[in-house]
Amino acid sequence: MRKMMLLCLALVFAFANTALCADDTIKIGVFLPLTGQNAFGGQLELEGVQMAAKENPTVLGKKIELFVVDNKSDKVESANAVKRLIEKEKVQAIIGTYGSSLAMAGGEVSEKAGIPQVGTSCTNPLVTQGKKYIFRVCFIDPYQGAGAATYAYKTLGLKTAAMLVDVANDYSVGLSKYFNKSFTKLGGKVVSTLNYQSGDQDFTAQLTKIISEKPDVLFIPSYFAEGAIIMKQAKELGATFKIMGGDAMDNPEITAIGGSAVEGFVHTTFPYDPSMKNMTPMAKKFTEGWKAAYPDKEPNVNAALGYDAYMIILDAITRAGKADPESIAKALAATKGFQGVTGATTINETHDAEKPVGLVIIKDGKKVYEGEITPEL
Amino acid sequence: MNLAMFIQHMLNSLTLGSLYALVAIGYTMVYGILRLINFAHSEMFMLGAYFVFWGITLGHLPWPVAMAIAIAVTATLGVIVDQVAYRPLRDAPRISALISSIGVSFFLQNVAIVFFQAIPREVYRPKWLEDPIITHGVRILPLTLFVPLLSLALMLVLIWIVYRTKAGLGMRAISKDIETSYLMGVPVNRIIALTFGIGTALAAASGIMWALRYPQLQPIMGTIPGFKAFIAAVFGGIGSIPGAVIGGLALGFIEIMTVAFFPDLAGYRDAFAFVLLILVLMVKPTGLLGERLEDKV
């Protein structure tokens, strides 16, 4: 009898609990690298998400609650972070993360639990491969790598290339692979590929070797912290070749840290930059909102992608008319022509965003949005 | 590989190696006296660098003044850390102090993340450091000459302190037997504080040099140089000041030459550092110039 009563009590509590949750709030989890190696990107993305949440605090008449967990730029911590969001906070959808390696580690957990996850700037194709619940608001590396190669070969007429790749980073390895593929296919030649590991600060040995090979262009699919140092050391060692990179180099601090060494550096990125001439209304609204919120800080594409990730989930919930994980995932998969800060976004059958590749050049110590390019895959 | 390139590689390894050596001297110094591997050394390294660039950008101080102030402030901080985190554990088993130092290291790192934010900061370098000297296709950075000379000078000063001054005599006495030193009237706590002060000042100096060479400030910037310097110190014989210098130079040389001669393995050069550490520990556990183990127990 006593046992029965306890059981009843437990059941009542269990129901009361779920009833409370479903009542008036929608819970969205955020997992981003706020400390460690990738913190500079993670913090900007978080600020983007938080800005979107501040401007749009409700959907379907319900309040949205954000739960932020730091994945510490670590693959294991990343999986733990997602587990915590799902099991402890009982979130209905998850935003994150910067860094493909981190997204893959966290994505596995989300996929198993059936909670939709929207990646911000994880561009490796493997992130969404074969996944039902994983999406992203950014395009993928083959697209971006091919974009950089097309620009180098066709627009700038550079014929030989070298690459300096972070072997411990899926993003870097992926991007270099696709740059190589495209550049070779177009008729160029990759004369040397050298490696380093995340956290290295001395690249003089690799750069001395690369300089002796005399390539026309050096492609560095690095993160911004390492990329800036690579360029400084390259200049000190007397490098004269063009240097190009990917979206992970997109950070407002780059000119401050790189100084004159980053002059002329070109990187591919998502079609948003505060220096853009023909801004869409969404991009304009975002830029103005940012400047009001953070007057001493430039917005960048990471912040914009954080903003878009939040907004695309809201859009999916609105279209689904309810906020259970299953319906959100279904609505996300059906997203067509969503007007985000980073251009019109369509989620394709592999759950990746389709949008053009933007190009940014550093001219006179300033980031300048050069325009878009259609990559030749 | 032509001669100019080989010389370039040699110079690159000299720069990297002497930076490691500079960090390793501080490590080895505290270990030599207290038998304590002070993991918070990496964080003192980071703080020293931040303080200098604060002094310059916020305080508008000239270079030498900012550097002197930063080194003094960091050294004081090192003494405070000793008082708070290590002194209460002086009689506890050695492992307790080691764990305490790991705690201090994480604590300082996280404080730095909160205060300085995780975004890397720029470093302003004096003009004379930016322009390399070019001869016969070899590019020499002024820092390449400056850091080894500084390491050498500091090493000589330290050896003089340890072997020619009264405080040095105290340090050597404490390193042999801390309890007997108490009984013989050696001002143990004052000398240990001095050791921490000097050790931390060295960490700050090396942090500043490091930031000049790799111009970027980050709260986690000390971790990897710290590990490498630790390996260098063990390789040279931990506790020995010339050993730290030799260990640092050797490690820099191995890292650069690995990349120069085996470019395919460039991504795994840290692994070589650790393999080196394991080999040394297997073949000669005391390192190249280490003292015999009997003295240390």
Q: Give the C-alpha separation, A103 to A97, whole Å.
A: 6
Rg of chain A over all Cα atoms, to the nearest angstrom: 22
Residue B216 has what pLDDT? 84
Q: Give the C-alpha separation, B214 to B12, whole Å.
A: 13
* pLDDT tens-place string over residues B71-82: 999 999 989 988
Residue A32 has what pLDDT? 94
Determine which of A310-324, B118-132, B243-257 has the lowest per-residue pLDDT on average: B118-132
- Alpha helices by DSSP H, chain A: 2-24, 39-55, 75-87, 100-113, 141-150, 170-186, 204-213, 224-236, 254-258, 281-293, 301-320, 325-333
Q: Give the C-alpha separation, B230 to B45, whole Å.
A: 13
Task: Kindly state the average pLDDT of the residues A107-131.
Answer: 92
Residue A360 near residue A266, CB atoms below 8 Å: yes
Q: What is the DSSP string of B102-166?
A: HHHHHHHHHHHHHHH-SS-B-----HHHHS-EEETTEEE-HHHHHHHHHHHHHHHHHHHHHHHSH
Rg of chain B over all Cα atoms, to the nearest angstrom: 19
Global pTM reads: 0.79
Task: Kindly state the average pLDDT of the residues A284-305.
Answer: 90
**Does A17 score more than 70 pLDDT?**
no
Distance from CA of A15 to the nearest CA of B (A): 40
Please give the C-alpha separations between residue A97 and each of A237, B18, B295, in angstroms, as whole numbers.
35, 39, 53
Please give the C-alpha separations between residue B281 and each of B35, B231, B243, B291, B295, in angstroms, as whole numbers.
17, 10, 15, 14, 18
Judge: A257–B256 Cβ closer than 8 Å, yes or no. Answer: no
- For chain A, say whether B279 makes contact (Cβ under 8 Å): no
- A67 is written with which tokens? 């739960």
Q: Give the C-alpha separation, A371 to A373, whole Å.
A: 7
- For chain A, say whether B6 makes contact (Cβ under 8 Å): no
Could you identify the residue written with the tokens 């911590």?
A77
**Does A19 score more than 50 pLDDT?**
no
Considering only residues B121 and A283, tell me which one the structure prediction assigns the higher pLDDT: A283
Task: Kindly state the average pLDDT of the residues A269-286.
Answer: 88
Q: What rounded mean pLDDT belongs to chain A? A: 88
Judge: A204–B263 Cβ closer than 8 Å, yes or no. Answer: no
* pLDDT tens-place string over residues A60-86: 999 999 999 999 888 999 999 999 999
- Nearest 5°: the CA angle A98, A104, A109 is 110
**Does B297 score more than 50 pLDDT?**
no
In b/e form, how buried is each residue of B141-174, taking b as 16+ CB within 10 angstroms?
Answer: bebbebbbebbeebbeebeebbeeeebbebbebb
Q: Give the C-alpha separation, A326 to B200, whole Å.
A: 56
Q: What rounded mean pLDDT belongs to chain B? A: 84
**CB hemisphere CA count around A284 (13 angstroms):** 5
Could you identify the residue written with the tokens 């706020």?
A34
Residue A349 near residue A119, CB atoms below 8 Å: no
**Does A21 score more than 70 pLDDT?**
no
User: A357: which strand partners?
Assistant: A373
- B77 is written with which tokens? 């901080």
Judge: A228–B216 Cβ closer than 8 Å, yes or no. Answer: yes
Task: Kindly state the average pLDDT of the residues B39-58.
Answer: 89
Read off the amino acid at residue A273: D
Judge: A237–B121 Cβ closer than 8 Å, yes or no. Answer: no
Q: Give the C-alpha separation, A225 to A248, whole Å.
A: 9
Q: Please report which confidence band the pLDDT of residue A23 belongs to, taking 50, 70 and 90 as the band edges.
A: low
Packing angle, helices A170-186 and A141-150, rounded to 10: 40
Considering only residues B218 and A319, tell me which one the structure prediction assigns the higher pLDDT: A319
User: A194: which strand partners?
Assistant: A164
Which residues from A are below 8 Å from B when comparing CB atoms? 34-37, 39-40, 42-43, 165-168, 192, 194-197, 199-202, 204-206, 208-209, 212, 224-225, 228-229, 232, 236-238, 253, 256-257, 259
Closest by CA to A94, choosing from A329, A367, A319, is A329
Please give the C-alpha separations between residue B233 and each of A114, A117, A128, B97, B287, in angstroms, as whole numbers.
50, 46, 45, 19, 8
Distance from CA of A345 to the nearest CA of B (A): 29
Distance from CA of A374 to the nearest CA of B (A): 32
Taking CA–CA distances from B270, the nearest residue in chain A reads A197
Residue B191 near residue B171, CB atoms below 8 Å: yes
Task: Kindly state the average pLDDT of the residues B245-264.
Answer: 87
Judge: A194–B8 Cβ closer than 8 Å, yes or no. Answer: no
Read off the amino acid at residue A197: Q
Residue B288 has what pLDDT? 76
Task: Kindly state the average pLDDT of the residues B32-39.
Answer: 83
Residue A128 has what pLDDT? 92
Question: How many other CB atoms are there within 10 angstroms of residue B194's CB atom?
Answer: 19
ipTM strictly over 0.90?
no
Residue A77 has what pLDDT? 93
Closest residue to B214, CB basis, from A42, A43, A201: A201
- B136 is written with which tokens? 């016969």
- B159 is written with which tokens? 């050896």
Determine how β-strand A189-196 pairs with β-strand A217-220: unpaired
- For chain A, say whether B134 makes contact (Cβ under 8 Å): yes
Q: Please report which confidence band the pLDDT of residue B296 belongs to, taking 50, 70 and 90 as the band edges.
A: very low
**Does A328 score more than 90 pLDDT?**
yes
Residue A10 has what pLDDT? 56
* pLDDT tens-place string over residues B133-156: 777 777 888 888 888 888 888 888
Q: Considering chain A, what percentage of its residues have pLDDT values greater than 70? A: 94
Q: Please report which confidence band the pLDDT of residue B181 belongs to, taking 50, 70 and 90 as the band edges.
A: confident
Contacting residues of A for B118, CB less than 8 Å apart:
34-36, 39-40, 42-43
Considering only residues B242 and A94, tell me which one the structure prediction assigns the higher pLDDT: A94
* pLDDT tens-place string over residues B83-118: 888 888 888 888 888 899 899 999 998 888 888 877
Judge: B267–A196 Cβ closer than 8 Å, yes or no. Answer: yes
Q: Give the C-alpha separation, B23 to A377, whole Å.
A: 48
Residue A183 near residue A159, CB atoms below 8 Å: no
- Nearest 5°: the CA angle A306, A312, A318 is 140
* pLDDT tens-place string over residues A138-151: 988 888 899 999 99
Q: Please list, in sequence order, all residues whose beta carbon lies within 8 angstroms of the beta carbon of residue B100, skipping any fewer than 6 positions away.
A: B85, B86, B89
- A184 is written with which tokens? 């070779």
Read off the amino acid at residue A111: E
